[in-house]
Amino acid sequence: MSDVLAITEHRRGELRDVSFELVTAGSDLASQSGGDLHLAVIGGDVDAFAEELALDGVDTIHTVAEGDEFNHDVYVQAVTALYEELDPTYVLMGNTVNGLDYAPAVAEQLDLPLVTDAVGLENEGALTVTREMYASKVESTVEVDAGTAAVTIRPGEWDVTEAAGEPAVEAFDVEIDDSRVRSRVTGFEEVGSGDVDIADADVLVSVGRGIEEEENIELVQELADALDATLSSSRPIVDNGWLPKDRQVGQSGKVVTPKVYLAIGISGAVQHVAGMKGAENIIAINTDPDAPIFDIADYGIVGDLFDVVPELIEQFE
Amino acid sequence: MKVLVTVKEVAEVEEDFELDGLHVAEQFLEYDLNEWDEYAVEEAVQLAEEDDDVEVVSVTIGPERSEETIRMALAKGVDRAIRVWDDALEDVDLLDVGAKTRLLSAVVEAEEPDFVLTGVQANDDSFGATGVSLASAIDFEWAAVVNDLELEGDVANVRRELEGGVEELTEVDLPAVLSIQTGINEPRYASLRGIRQAQSKEIKPMSLSDLGLDASAVESDLELTDMYEPETESDAVYFEGDAGEQAAELATVLREKGVGAQ
Ligand SMILES: Cc1cc2nc3c(=O)[nH]c(=O)nc-3n(C[C@H](O)[C@H](O)[C@H](O)COP(=O)(O)OP(=O)(O)OC[C@H]3O[C@@H](n4cnc5c(N)ncnc54)[C@H](O)[C@@H]3O)c2cc1C
Ligand SMILES: Nc1ncnc2c1ncn2[C@@H]1O[C@H](COP(=O)(O)O)[C@@H](O)[C@H]1O
């Protein structure tokens, strides 16, 4: 029997999607061995969150009323205290930006082997985790030989359930050691947007690292003009300063849902896809037939953008 | 002040490749400095440029081959480098976060840096965990996914890049480990002079015993059991032919969707 402790996430008063995905991943994992799923809700309006999380498959929700927002020092102390109290087999967390900020410290302090960014979990005697490597070109499985493990799951990989359940809700008191809270969140800021809002566009021509040089941006701008579309990009283009930050599509940029999304020289990394998978029609132009972008594309051209884009511009002139 | 920056040589897989057991066959791999570490190196070098008292030391866990990559960091202004390697590491299929943490902790103990910079993630096995795990082990404070950094006395004022274009402003007490996000700065190109100077900079090899460790330090509870090319989930309609034909077919579809028609 393997009990699972899953740590939920919230930000600015709302539970994040990954919290519900953790319920699914956690209850699948717990039920494979007849164990219980414990959820932890740390900080914020814990009672309201617990109500929302009263879902099928959850056995107990532990509320830790400490602070309003995420603070990794508090999370690490709360999770390690819960672990010691509940003695679960597995600790599940989200592979989110906040997950990156506390999950490794939880694993280190509890001396648990850590497997991050899981896309699949199987518990047949030993825990087997499926994860991607080499920019999603390869998948691998990792077996955990210890009895226990800390695992983070990739957001967006597990379905969510809406079926209600009747978990017990228990307040958990942790004595937070303030001398070990050595970081303070002082605020949040939205990254400013310029005069173009790519989230409003019906048609996006989006460019990635396949464009190679700054001066080639002109080529895709020309295409965007010919199609009466807006130009957006993947992250490296913005990191390089070739387009402003407000043009970035993805996890840390904008989430867009245009009618047409034309991905040119973009590989389709998970953090990029997080921002555009909701587009109605996804079209990819890429030299690599195995680029992950094709997995979610509706139309594909395997080809060199420097050949295809000029031809496409010509079609619309 | 001494800044330790962790750097990893990562492998990129070519478009067409073959697997060889639990590895990508060597001839299909290209090695380079991890993208995130380029930004961490630049951030460290900028700190040294602002303040003459700052020494920048890089550390890598990697085989001899990685010295070529490490040399690039030296050419960009890192003062000296440490390379951890050992026979015991040769046969490790998956160097897990715990093992890396034990090795890097020993380096921190030997070097006593005031400040450690890592990348957010290594682009090959993408654990995204080494920096924060290390911080916990050496009892430093930390912050992950940092895209802005100002040092102010005993505090690092950082911005953490969250999802959806939101940044978190955080004060982090020093000493600290920060994991650096791409875009925080503009990594420089190595100058010819830098490349020349790098030839005479030290890359110090350190074995497990040099670090006061034994083979148990790289033992892991994680075992790589399989590696495969994922089956494509694509149900895309592909446009075939030469570029002109592909473009013509795509144009037809685009027009059907109302694109460009006005
Ligand atoms: C915390 C975090 C947050 C992130 N947030 C984001 C985000 O918000 N948005 C984002 O985009 N990324 C984000 N990333 C980065 C992401 O992991 C990838 O590194 C990035 O998306 C890669 O961009 P790319 O596809 O343009 O480049 P690459 O992955 O380098 O892909 C380039 C593609 O171009 C193709 N190509 C090359 N030459 C040609 C040619 N001549 N013609 C056609 N195709 C060609 C190649 O086959 C390849 O598929 C984030 C990463 C982290 C860790
Ligand atoms: N073998 C290694 N040697 C030195 N630094 C490493 C190594 N592996 C990871 N790191 C550092 O830790 C960061 C995060 O890597 P990872 O946790 O493996 O995704 C990288 O950007 C590096 O700075």
Say which residue the tokens 């995420």 belong to: A70
Is residue B118 within 8 angstroms of chain A, CB to CB? no
Q: Hey, is B20 helix, strand or coil?
A: strand
pLDDT of residue B88: 95
Q: Hey, is A118 helix, strand or coil?
A: strand
Tell whether A213 and A132 lie within a shared domain: no
B156: in domain: yes
ipTM: 0.97
**Ligand 1 pocket, residue A266 CB under 6 Å:** yes
Q: Is the dihedral of CA B67, B69, B71, B73 positive or negative?
A: negative
Is residue B132 within 8 angstroms of chain A, CB to CB? yes
pLDDT of residue A194: 72
Tell whether A70 and A211 lie within a shared domain: no
How would you classify the pairing of strands A126-133 and A120-124? antiparallel
* Enclosing domain of residue B28: 2-218
B197: in domain: yes
Q: Give the confidence band of B127 by pLDDT, cuts at 50, 70, 90.
A: very high
Among A151, A180, A209, the domain boundary falls at A180
B244: in domain: no
Mutate to test the interface with A, among B100, B136, B177 (most CBs of A within 10 A): B136
Among A153, A180, A207, the domain boundary falls at A180
CA distance linking residue B220 with residue B95, whole number of Å:
8
Q: Which residues from chain A sit within 8 angstroms of residue B227, using beta carbons?
A: 133, 138-141
Contact state of B133 with A105 under an 8 Å Cβ cutoff? yes
Q: Hey, is B179 helix, strand or coil?
A: strand
Tell whether A95 and A126 lie within a shared domain: yes
Q: What is the pLDDT of residues B93-109, one digit of tens each?
A: 889 999 999 999 999 99
Q: Hey, is B145 helix, strand or coil?
A: strand
- Here the tokens at position A249 are 């599509």
CA distance linking residue B227 with residue A298, whole number of Å:
28
Tell whether A100 and A158 lie within a shared domain: yes
Q: Which residues from chain B sit within 8 angstroms of residue A300, using beta carbons?
A: 234, 236-239
Mutate to test the interface with B, among A127, A180, A312 (most CBs of B within 10 A): A312
Structure-derived torsion over alpha carbons of residues B228, A92, A106, A166, reported in degrees to the nearest 10: 180
pLDDT of residue A106: 98
Check: CB of residue A267 under 8 Å from CB of residue A291.
yes
Tell whether A210 and A295 lie within a shared domain: yes
Pairs across A and B, CB distance < 8 A = 262
Nearest CA to ligand 2 atom 10: B8
Contact state of A76 with B229 under an 8 Å Cβ cutoff? no
Those residues whose C-beta lies under 8 Å from the C-beta of residue A28, and which sit 6 or more positions away, are: A121, A158
Check: CB of residue A74 under 8 Å from CB of residue A66.
yes
Out of B127, B233, B246, the one facing A116 most closely (by C-beta) is: B127
Tell whether A164 and A281 lie within a shared domain: no
CATH number for the domain that contains residue A38: 3.40.50.620
Those residues whose C-beta lies under 8 Å from the C-beta of residue A27, and which sit 6 or more positions away, are: A4, A37, A56, A57, A58
Among A112, A157, A119, A153, residue whose Cα is nearest residue A6:
A153
Contact state of A143 with B222 under an 8 Å Cβ cutoff? yes
pLDDT at B262 over 60: no
- Measured between CA atoms, how close is B261 to chain A, in angstroms? 8
Q: Which residues from chain A sit within 8 angstroms of residue B96, using beta carbons?
A: 113-114
Measure the CA angle with vertex A194, ends A188 and A200; round to 5°: 95
Amino acid at A218: E
Instruction: Give how many domains chain B has, as a whole number.
Output: 1
Chain centroid to CA A128: 21
Tell whether A30 and A142 lie within a shared domain: yes
CA distance linking residue B61 with residue B9, whole number of Å:
9
- Measured between CA atoms, how close is A6 to chain B, in angstroms? 18
Q: Phi then psi for B89, rounded to 5 degrees?
A: -90, -20
Out of B124, B126, B166, the one facing A117 most closely (by C-beta) is: B126
Instruction: Give how many domains chain A has, as a whole number.
Output: 2
pLDDT of residue A308: 98
Nearest CA to ligand 1 atom 48: A267
Check: CB of residue A63 under 8 Å from CB of residue A172.
yes
Is residue B230 within 8 angstroms of chain A, CB to CB? yes
pLDDT of residue A316: 94
Measure the CA angle with vertex A116, ends A111 and A117; round to 5°: 165
Q: Which residues from chain B sit within 8 angstroms of residue A141, using beta carbons?
A: 224-227
Check: CB of residue B158 under 8 Å from CB of residue B148.
yes
CATH number for the domain that contains residue A309: 3.40.50.1220
Nearest CA to ligand 2 atom 6: B8
Tell whether A13 and A133 lie within a shared domain: yes
B234: in domain: no
Among A289, A287, A282, A279, residue whose Cα is nearest residue A309:
A287
pLDDT of residue B234: 87
Q: Phi then psi for B86, rounded to 5 degrees?
A: -165, 150
Structure-derived torsion over alpha carbons of residues A277, A279, A282, A287, reported in degrees to the nearest 10: -50
Is residue A126 within 8 angstroms of chain B, CB to CB? no
pLDDT of residue B231: 86
Tell whether A115 and A75 lie within a shared domain: yes
Tell whether A34 and A138 lie within a shared domain: yes
- Measured between CA atoms, how close is B197 to chain A, in angstroms? 27
Ligand 1 centroid vs B193 CA: distance in angstroms?
A: 32
Check: CB of residue A27 under 8 Å from CB of residue A113.
no
CA distance linking residue A189 with residue A92, whole number of Å:
29
Beta bridge partners of A183: B172
CA distance linking residue B242 with residue A237, whole number of Å:
28
Measure the CA angle with vertex A73, ends A71 and A79; round to 5°: 95
For A174, B165, B167, B168, the CA distances from A193, given in Å and listed in that order, are: 41, 10, 14, 17
B259: in domain: no
- Measured between CA atoms, how close is A205 to chain B, in angstroms? 11
Measure the CA angle with vertex A25, ends A22 and A31; round to 5°: 125
- Measured between CA atoms, how close is A111 to chain B, in angstroms? 8
Tell whether A166 and A220 lie within a shared domain: no
Ligand 1 centroid vs B86 CA: distance in angstroms?
A: 34
B232: in domain: no
Contact state of B227 with A138 under an 8 Å Cβ cutoff? yes
A185: in domain: no
Contact state of B179 with A186 under an 8 Å Cβ cutoff? no
* Enclosing domain of residue A294: 198-316
Among A273, A237, A254, A281, residue whose Cα is nearest residue A200:
A254
Among A146, A180, A214, the domain boundary falls at A180
Check: CB of residue A85 under 8 Å from CB of residue A78.
no
CA distance linking residue A234 with residue A245, whole number of Å:
10
For residues B7-19, average pLDDT: 94
Q: How many CB atoms lie within 10 A of CB B23?
A: 14
Q: What is the pLDDT of residues A136-157, one digit of tens each?
A: 999 999 999 998 999 999 999 9
pLDDT of residue A114: 98
CATH number for the domain that contains residue B22: 3.40.50.620
- Here the tokens at position B202 are 């030290």
Share of chain B above pLDDT 90, in %: 94
Beta bridge partners of A114: A150
Check: CB of residue A110 under 8 Å from CB of residue A97.
no
- Measured between CA atoms, how close is B33 to chain A, in angstroms? 14
For residue A189, the chain B residue with the least C-alpha distance is B167
Beta bridge partners of B13: B29
A189: in domain: no
Check: CB of residue B142 under 8 Å from CB of residue B132.
yes
CA distance linking residue B202 with residue B55, whole number of Å:
13
A212: in domain: yes
Q: Give the confidence band of B261 by pLDDT, cuts at 50, 70, 90.
A: low
B231: in domain: no
CB < 8 Å from A in window 52-81 of B: none
For A183, B61, B110, the CA distances from B2, given in Å and listed in that order, are: 21, 19, 12
Is residue A100 within 8 angstroms of chain B, CB to CB? yes
Those residues whose C-beta lies under 8 Å from the C-beta of residue B256, and which sit 6 or more positions away, are: none
Out of B145, B166, B234, the one facing A294 most closely (by C-beta) is: B234
A191: in domain: no
Helix A97-110 × helix A72-86 angle, to 10°: 50
Q: Can you list the residues of chain A whose pLDDT is less than 50?
A: none
Tell whether A170 and A65 lie within a shared domain: yes
How confident is the prediction for chain B on average, in pLDDT?
Answer: 96
Q: How many CB atoms lie within 10 A of CB A60?
A: 17
pLDDT of residue A193: 67
Ligand 2 pocket: which of B3, B32, B34, B57 to mutate (most atoms within 8 A of CB): B34
Q: Phi then psi for B207, rounded to 5 degrees?
A: -95, 175
CA distance linking residue A137 with residue A154, whole number of Å:
16
B242: in domain: no
pLDDT of residue A195: 75
Contact state of B128 with A100 under an 8 Å Cβ cutoff? yes
